[in-house]
């Protein structure tokens, strides 16, 4: 199966399961939405409160044009690694923060753990200072920190051990990688480990979520091609948009700041980011 097909199938599963909030038996639960709360939702916290029950192992992407939350289940290995790409300054880091904020609100520390590599670890310091959030955080590291390579190695060993065991066991782990241009500053061994994680980590519950500036896409195809799921923000260059989206019809130049889209298998679904917090 091609990378494009994997992306399309994975997003179709997610779109069916969450924005329409189908139950596992396929029947719609008409009482699942708190309508008044939904109309008032303006933050990650309030948007999640508009839902009476959110499945564990789920993260929020943003708010759809119809006002409903758009969410992603981490139960489908075909999702693979998740790439967020757009022009500089259009919301990549905030998208990551929405995903992390929601993961902490929805899941228990037993369900989800988070490791973060960033050029600016200070953007994430509130997670370490908050007692409740701290339980979810394995590491928040700068790319240049030697411990970053240790974290990548440990997650690779964990994923390999789960894979060799023949089943996906234990806690989902989100490896958040803000700004992929720093990948090539890692040692050769760390790059090999990371490339393996991008290809196979999701099969063992290690979900790699990375961001990249659109204008770097042509020079990073070796890495970009390993990401099966794409989240696309504003991209003015049609060539860069096609590389990031794996399609030629994304119309990413029409998106505003903080707006993103994913392919549902039938059409593009556009959503907007919401502020962090309650």
Q: What is the pLDDT of residues 156-191, one digit of tens each?
A: 999 999 988 876 667 999 999 999 999 999 999 999
Structural domains in the chain, CATH included, are 3-272 (3.40.50.300)
Residue 27's pLDDT band, with cuts at 50, 70 and 90, is very low
The DSSP letter of residue 74 is S
Q: What is the DSSP string of 123-178?
A: GGHHHHHSHHHHTTEEEEEETTSHHHHHHHHHHHHHHHHHHHTTS--S-EEEEEES
d(CA 244, CA 85): 6
In order of 159, 160, 198, 203, 219, the CA distances from 164 in angstroms are 9, 6, 17, 11, 34
**Average pLDDT in the chain:** 85
CB 50 within 8 A of CB 37: yes
Share of the chain above pLDDT 70, in %: 84
**Residue 186, token pair as written in the block:** 């890692």
Q: What is the pLDDT of residue 36?
A: 54
Please determine, for residue 9, whether its predicted confidence score (pLDDT) is greater than 50: no
3-state secondary structure of 86: strand
Cβ burial of 108 (10 Å; 0-12, 13-18, 19+) is: exposed
Helix or strand (DSSP H, E) at 118: strand 112-118
Q: What is the pLDDT of residue 108?
A: 94
Q: What is the DSSP string of 193-238?
A: HHHHHHHHGGGGTEEEEEEEEGGGGGGGHHHHTTEEEEEE-----H
Residue 124's pLDDT band, with cuts at 50, 70 and 90, is very high
Residue 226's pLDDT band, with cuts at 50, 70 and 90, is very high
């Amino acid at each position: 199966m091609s990378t494009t097909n994997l992306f399309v199938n994975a997003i179709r599963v997610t779109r069916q399961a969450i924005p329409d909030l189908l139950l596992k038996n396929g029947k719609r639960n008409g009482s699942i939405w708190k309508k008044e709360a939904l109309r008032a939702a303006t933050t990650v916290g309030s948007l999640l409160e508009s839902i009476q029950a959110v499945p564990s192992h789920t993260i929020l992407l943003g708010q759809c044009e119809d006002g409903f939350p758009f969410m992603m289940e981490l139960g489908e290995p075909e999702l693979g690694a998740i790439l967020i790409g757009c022009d500089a300054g259009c919301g990549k880091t905030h998208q990551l923060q929405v995903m992390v904020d929601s993961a902490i609100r929805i899941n228990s520390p037993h369900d989800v753990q988070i490791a973060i590599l960033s050029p600016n670890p200070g953007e994430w310091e509130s997670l370490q200072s908050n007692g409740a959030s701290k339980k979810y955080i394995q590491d928040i590291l700068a790319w240049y920190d030697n411990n970053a390579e240790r974290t990548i190695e440990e997650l690779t060993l964990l994923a390999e051990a789960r894979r060799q065991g023949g089943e996906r066991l234990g806690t989902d782990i989100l490896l958040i990688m803000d700004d992929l241009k720093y990948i090539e500053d890692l040692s050769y061994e760390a790059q090999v480990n990371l490339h393996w994680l991008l290809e196979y980590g999701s099969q063992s519950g290690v979900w790699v979520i990375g961001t990249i500036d659109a204008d770097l896409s042509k020079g990073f195809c070796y890495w970009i091609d390993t990401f099966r799921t794409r989240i696309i923000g504003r991209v003015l260059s049609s060539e860069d948009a096609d590389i990031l989206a794996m399609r030629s019809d994304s119309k990413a130049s029409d998106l505003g700041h903080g707006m993103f889209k994913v392919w549902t298998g039938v059409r593009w679904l556009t959503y907007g980011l919401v502020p962090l917090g309650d």
